Structure 1
Amino acid sequence: MLWCKELLIIIGLIGEKSPALLLLSLLPLKAENLPVGKRMEKIPTICQQCHIECGVIATVNKGKVVKIEGNPEFPLNKGLLCPKGLNYLELQYHQDRVKFPLKKKNGKWERTTWEEALDIIAERISHISKVYGSKSLALSVGTQPRGNYISTYRLAAALGTPNVTNPGYLCYYPSVTAGTLTFGADVMQERGPDIDHTECILIWGANPLNAHPPIGRKMQQAKRSGQAKMIVVDPRKTKHAEIADYWLQLRPGSDDALALGMINVIINEKLYDQQFVEKWCIGFEQLAERVKEYTPERVSKITWIPPEVIRAVSRLYANAQGAVLYHRVAVEHHSNAIQTLRAFALLIAITGNIDAPGGNVIPHYPKGFIGRREITYPQEIRDSKLEKLRIGADRFPLMSGPESFIPRVRTPDLVHAILSEKPYPIKAMIAFNNPVVTTPNSKLVWDAFKKLDFLVVVDFFKTPTAELADIFLPSATWLERNDIADSPYTNYIAARRKVIEPIGECMDDKEIVVKIAERLGKSQHIPWKKTEDLLNMRLK
């Protein structure tokens, strides 16, 4: 399959017992096929305003997108679209969007060329690396709506630095760590819960109807149709809580105690899947001993949930023929997040709901397809000696050490390293996101970034982080680039088709890193020249 020969979507990729793969051709409706008076091109593509990646149809008139609407043929959102997607053109054509490279001169921005900007970057990065060593360089990356996640780690490998930071230390990464440590996969968020075949939906610290509407809508339909019971654990009364069989308005931060209390009930009342536990689980006796002290009465005092409710929801979850546990990042915004999420994983495991129909299913990519994580952190770019030098590797080995699943630096650790120059100086950064705003204590982050000798920002707008930069490189939006939509949050692989050419001189992030590496004489570390080369590599 070569990129853009046709636009395909592959569905049904979840679990070993998944349905046969279904290929849907989503070729654009050409202008000549439209009625007279509507000579516009309608192009199916995939929104990237969030992780869900809904199918959309972009209407293009004379090279400009004039409308975005949901694609009724796309099986995830089935034509519906949230306000962020419907109103994306406000960002796309906003008057403040930066369309050309900029350089800072005497404290003011002035337009420059890509050639000059890349020359400045190469000269400054080379000098800093020579004086302070390559580990003095750092990169910062976000997630949606950008296509830079894959390419940033490749650029870091080319530069010879282990220091890449990302906000994932307080969202998503704790779940990946807990799930991988427990049963080898992260199955508790959007990709994993088999909502279509479940009898019980346990929503814990999540509000998917607002945050990820297609998932939330599917849950609401399962409950309203009588297919599934619903348990909601949330201090707030969400729309899900309004229709749930049980709403547990727990004390914020007491999620781990509630999970241990549920395990206590399930083990003491022998509601666990004994056959599964005997065949697949290690350490069950130690777990049973550990949770003895977490009786519903004691847990009630910690969580504010009545003991009888703790018992009732434990029985409902354990007795269902297929139950899903779905959480989101609210649970991860806590100092004990990984251990809390490991308790969630244990709930799934001992009830036999791991990789079972109607439970939390381990996803499988089609044979030969290179997934997002595999292309981002391939073994050939991981250097254990270099990774031991990563900031925070000694304090947070599961996140920052050589054996971390998704290697990165906690952004607060990087900020403190810049300010203190310990364990070594950080002198330059290339930021594909806006850490001054997304990191706790913005004033401290601002002070740290002011101390950098050199800062490059790649973005759509002059963000607070960009105001401190020396070079600004304009990034292309998802409407302006080809990509593969295989977010780990959903059960689909689809083609995100470029519908218009980039505005001004904006460029795909995946090609920007190639330009920087080439100018530094390190292009051999990045195995693609154009975006389509990368996409073909992943598909074939």
Structure 2
Amino acid sequence: MEFNDAAVEMRDDVGKPWRYEEDGCTVTRTCVWSAPGCHPVGCGLKVYVKDGEVVKVEGDENHPVTKGRLCVRCLAMKDFLYHPDRIIYPMKRDRADRGKDKWERCSWDEAIAIIKKNYDEVKENYGVESMVAFMGTGRQGNIGATGAHRVLGSPNGCYPLSGFSCYGPRVSITMDVVGSSYPEIDYAGGLPGGYDDPAYQIPEIIIQWGKEPIYSSPDGLFGHSIIDLMKRGAKLININPRITWTGSRAILNVQLRPGTDAALAMAMLNVIISENLYDQDFVERWCYGFEQLAERVAEMPPEKAAEICCVPAEQIYRAARLYANAKPASIAWGVSIDQSPNGAQAGQAILALMSITGNMDVPGGQVLVDMTAGDGGMQEDIDSVGWPEMKQELKDAIIGREEFPFYTGGLKMSQADRQLDALETGKPYAIHFCWLGETNLIAPTCSAQPKRWYDALRKVDFNFATDTWMTPTIQGCCDVVLPLASSLEMETIVPTHYGGSPNYVGALNKCVKCGEAVPEWELYRILGLALNPEAWENREKDFKEFYDIAMMRAYDFDYDEVQKKVVIQRDVSYRKYETGKLRPDGAKGFNTSTGRIQLYSPMFEAVGEDPLPYYFEAPTTPVSTPDLAKDYPLTMMTGAREIGYFHSEGRQIEKLRDLCPDPLVELNPVDADEHGIKEGDWVRIENPWGVCFLRAKITPIIKEGYIQAQHGWWFPEEDAEAPHLYGVWKSNINTLIPHSRMGKLGFGAPFRTTLVKISKASEEDLVEADRYGLEGADGKPLDHTDNFFRIDDPSLDPAAC
């Protein structure tokens, strides 16, 4: 296999201190989190500052993993920092002016006083449960649980993505099946010798399953490690409805029908078990429920899965045999699995593949975190802060608890779809106070049916936001906004995979300060002391002392050490189930109720779910809704990352916008010809839930009958005021995603399986584009009362694709 880029080598100046002088600049070696918006990988940067201002950003060749390689988002950090649209001071406006560009700069004291006044009134009149902290990825990886529990004192922290269809399902499922955060591939990130370390072994096979890591470096997987490993002999299998860039270098591409991953994984298990390709010793000693799993997957032979997935049965046999016979092998599974109502079961089956082949916690396979060392405790310490002290009656009041106990109990967050229902209906109780933290939820980033969210939030008594940019969500819905710092303006750490992989911990070393923006954790402390001081121990401490208590207690080194070293690689060991390092109590085995990998899940059984993986047809497909498919014959996927953007972030940055200036939809040349669409045409995409407009990209990488529509689009250069809101409705692909189509555990949504039709947009269409976002295609207000979908409908024939 040939690659154009040469192997990356460390330069002669390896070993630079964390801060030094060069060419009249102060150079700070640091790592990055968000902005520019990545899940925690912690790529290494060198930031050149002169006269208190950043003049240049380069990759840090001293970083043991990234070795100077940076994405365009990091390279554009200077443009991010100093962009005139960035929020760097607190702002306020009257509630009556929501949607109007009537923001006034105010002091921190005044902004906090406004928030506290409204907080106190709502708490007194309605109780803290009537408050919600909505959170996105966050600037330091925090999500709604911490803000809700510890700052507001409310049980209702919420990630407003329908079915929490990103990361949460994988983590929740794996915590029950394996007893750890979901296992990423081992790319030697924690080993001092890297790929050449004697403890490491190059995987023979890597399966990329619904993931293209070089575009986003997601969840602690440095994307270019895939390329590094392929240069060293690893072979790639790509499971994806599209042919991705790395997929074009794969030895096998399995272009399955979107949403059928569970059927494919079960069929691969069928082959491995029936052909006796599994690791019998590992299964006998360390797996629970193997016989039951074998009986279940016997119901899904490759020939049946081939009909469901619309792929040749021979591909399923080949993929299963290649993976099972490789020693070692690894699977990088992505958000595409989460973004299906059947995603929990698909994830369960993928974990079974990793387990029965003996690839769990071995060099070059899947790597698990040492639960007796620092990493294992970090995320639990952060996300559960405040929850143990919360009164049981408040815990019981969390939205969605009775219907989705696994979701709300595991994540300690309200169920996203039911949270919208509560906003709209006031049941089980009304919501009066919202914190919108680092989430541009009405732009097509997360929420299904964003117009419903917009209408519901505008009716709430008080909303405030914390972010780095003015967004359509803040402009349309909020009364106060507080400015957050970016990665170059804070002191913190970035642990890969939120501490869920034993790779490394990086330091975010403060380089500059812009205006009055503060780091996310410091903002939590400021708000917590003002609103809920009894929940804040050591509240007399300054931020650094608080930080050491709240964040660094999970590690055996202090912040000063990681700051000076910039990157500390974690001690990596393998087969920790044999040494007691996967359980906090030090016992051998896995950190589960049985002490083994639970191929049969007692927890799923306890909450009324099937304890074994199974396949069901997603909603709004040609199989589940054949009548709908007659009028809407194309299956739409959305959510794939673009290299220049992190969801909705970055469209103000000229260098990034030049890479992708317009919202695009990919379609096959055959479908383009059938609908009279040419490259670059504006097209109209619609279904019963909504309409939006994107530009056509005609490409054979996508199969006939499918389209891939970009998400996250809004137009910061356009009119800010409502109803336009920076053109957020024109290309808002999530207006086509129906609300509340999740699986039995409350996870998943049809972001990859929604039926649509497509046509060339007329001039009249484009003039009226904003109106179509607010109203139906016929100009009438949208009616979305059809909220529920039964996954056990016996009339569905999943083989009739």
Superposed pair shares fold, TM > 0.5: yes
CA contact (8 A) 2:152 2:532 kept: no
CA contact (8 A) 2:185 2:330 kept: no
Aligned to 2:17, which of 6, 21, 27?
Answer: 27
For 1:271, the aligned partner's letter is: L
CA contact (8 A) 1:400 1:409 kept: yes
Cα drift, residue 284 of structure 1: 1.0
For 1:459, the aligned partner's letter is: D
Aligned to 2:92: 103
| Distance change (3 Å), C-alpha of 1:430 and 1:191 | farther
CA contact (8 A) 1:139 1:165 kept: yes
Aligned to 2:170, which of 164, 169, 175?
Answer: 175
What do residues 154-194 of structure 1 show as CA deviations (whole Å, max 9, x unaligned)? 55334321000115611001111221121112334467898
**3-state secondary structure, aligned to 2:505:** strand
**3-state secondary structure, aligned to 1:45:** strand
- Percent of counterpart pairs with the same letter? 33
Aligned to 2:456: 448
How far apart, CA to CA, are the structure 2 residues paired with 1:132 and 1:483? 36
Aligned to 1:514: 525
What do residues 183-229 of structure 1 show as CA deviations (whole Å, max 9, x unaligned)? 11233446789886222111101111222297332222322332x22
Worse overlay, 482-491 or 443-452? 482-491
Worse overlay, 469-478 or 180-189? 180-189
**3-state secondary structure, aligned to 1:149:** coil
Q: Which consecutive unaligned segments of at least 5 residues does structure 2 have?
A: 1-13, 190-194, 553-557, 559-801
1:54-453 matches, within 5 Å, as 54-105=43-94, 107=97, 108-144=102-138, 146-147=139-140, 149=142, 153=146, 156-167=149-160, 169-189=164-184, 197=201, 198-212=203-217, 215-226=222-233, 228-364=234-370, 367-368=373-374, 370-378=377-385, 380-381=388-389, 383-401=391-409, 404=410, 406-433=411-438, 434-437=440-443, 438=445, 439-453=447-461
Aligned to 1:13: none
How far apart, CA to CA, are the structure 2 residues paired with 1:148 and 1:270? 42
| Distance change (3 Å), C-alpha of 1:394 and 1:230 | same
How far apart, CA to CA, are the structure 1 residues paired with 2:470 and 2:307? 49
How far apart, CA to CA, are the structure 2 residues paired with 1:511 and 1:393? 31
Cα drift, residue 435 of structure 1: 2.1
How far apart, CA to CA, are the structure 2 residues paired with 1:365 and 1:273? 25
**3-state secondary structure, aligned to 2:506:** strand
Cα drift, residue 258 of structure 1: 0.5
| Distance change (3 Å), C-alpha of 1:345 and 1:55 | same
| Distance change (3 Å), C-alpha of 1:124 and 1:349 | same
Cα drift, residue 399 of structure 1: 1.4
| Distance change (3 Å), C-alpha of 1:382 and 1:190 | farther
Aligned to 1:498: 510
More helix, by proportion: 1
**3-state secondary structure, aligned to 1:371:** helix
TM-score normalised by length of structure 1: 0.88
How far apart, CA to CA, are the structure 1 residues paired with 2:371 and 2:63? 19
How far apart, CA to CA, are the structure 1 residues paired with 2:93 and 2:186? 43
For 2:154, the aligned partner's letter is: T
What do residues 88-133 of structure 1 show as CA deviations (whole Å, max 9, x unaligned)? 2222111011221111136222121111111111111011111011
What is the RMSD of the two structures over their aligned residues, measured on CA atoms?
2.3
How far apart, CA to CA, are the structure 1 residues paired with 2:18 and 2:383? 30
How far apart, CA to CA, are the structure 2 residues paired with 1:392 and 1:193? 40
For 1:212, the aligned partner's letter is: S
**3-state secondary structure, aligned to 2:223:** helix
How far apart, CA to CA, are the structure 2 residues paired with 1:316 and 1:330? 22
How far apart, CA to CA, are the structure 1 residues paired with 2:110 and 2:320? 63
Aligned to 1:18: none
CA contact (8 A) 2:529 2:536 kept: no
CA contact (8 A) 1:324 1:360 kept: yes
Aligned to 2:31: 46
The reply on whether 1:469 has 2:478 as its aligned counterpart is yes
For 1:131, the aligned partner's letter is: N
Q: Which has the higher contact order (CA 8 A, sep 6+)?
A: 1
What do residues 390-441 of structure 1 show as CA deviations (whole Å, max 9, x unaligned)? 101112212113xx1x221233322221110000011001111222223121
How far apart, CA to CA, are the structure 2 residues paired with 1:366 and 1:300? 43
Cα drift, residue 261 of structure 1: 0.3
Cα drift, residue 495 of structure 1: 1.1
Cα drift, residue 525 of structure 1: 2.6
Cα drift, residue 385 of structure 1: 3.6
**3-state secondary structure, aligned to 2:116:** helix
How far apart, CA to CA, are the structure 1 residues paired with 2:182 and 2:429? 37
How far apart, CA to CA, are the structure 2 residues paired with 1:411 and 1:120? 27
CA contact (8 A) 1:155 1:513 kept: no
CA contact (8 A) 1:158 1:523 kept: no
Cα drift, residue 506 of structure 1: 1.5
| Distance change (3 Å), C-alpha of 1:278 and 1:400 | same
Cα drift, residue 450 of structure 1: 0.4
Q: Which consecutive unaligned segments of at least 5 residues does structure 1 have?
A: 1-23
How far apart, CA to CA, are the structure 2 residues paired with 1:481 and 1:190? 30
How far apart, CA to CA, are the structure 2 residues paired with 1:101 and 1:128? 22
| Distance change (3 Å), C-alpha of 1:383 and 1:54 | farther
Cα drift, residue 517 of structure 1: 2.4
CA contact (8 A) 1:460 1:475 kept: yes
| Distance change (3 Å), C-alpha of 1:460 and 1:125 | same
For 1:390, the aligned partner's letter is: I
| Distance change (3 Å), C-alpha of 1:86 and 1:232 | same
CA contact (8 A) 1:101 1:473 kept: yes
How far apart, CA to CA, are the structure 1 residues paired with 2:141 and 2:295? 46
How far apart, CA to CA, are the structure 1 residues paired with 2:420 and 2:134? 11
CA contact (8 A) 1:44 1:57 kept: yes
Cα drift, residue 465 of structure 1: 1.8
TM-score normalised by length of structure 2: 0.60
| Distance change (3 Å), C-alpha of 1:348 and 1:511 | same
CA contact (8 A) 1:44 1:58 kept: yes
